[in-house]
Amino acid sequence: MMLDAIASRPIAMLSSLRSIFGKAAMGTPADRRPPRDATMRYIAKKKLWNAIAVECGIKPGAVRLWRKVPPLRVRSVERAIGRPRRMIRPDLYAE
């Protein structure tokens, strides 16, 4: 689809074209998003976003977007919240 054709469409129709460009819609309903795992629910309940963000060297908003703790961040999260990594990602660190 040409960009000129997209520019001539009303804004309401452009929201359906977001998937073409690989961008997720900001207002995705909760039932269509993957659920958060237990660790992310714990982090949200205790409001530990800032502590994790400081430990990882990222912004707290980035931590809030996680559905699961990314594998490369497990050790940093372990240090920040004091839980062992096998509790943070049991699928990666089985006993």
More confident residue, 77 or 23: 77
The full set of domain ranges for the chain reads 30-88
- CA triplet 28, 31, 37: central angle to 5 degrees? 100
Q: Please give the model's pTM, rounded to 2 decimal places.
A: 0.64
CA 47 to chain centroid, in Å, comes to: 15
Mean pLDDT for 86-91 is: 92
- Give 22-47 pLDDT, tens digit per residue: 445 556 666 677 788 889 999 989 99
Grade residue 8 by pLDDT with cuts at 50, 70 and 90.
low
More confident residue, 40 or 94: 40
User: What residues contact 83, with CB distance under 8 A and at least 6 apart?
Assistant: 39, 42, 77
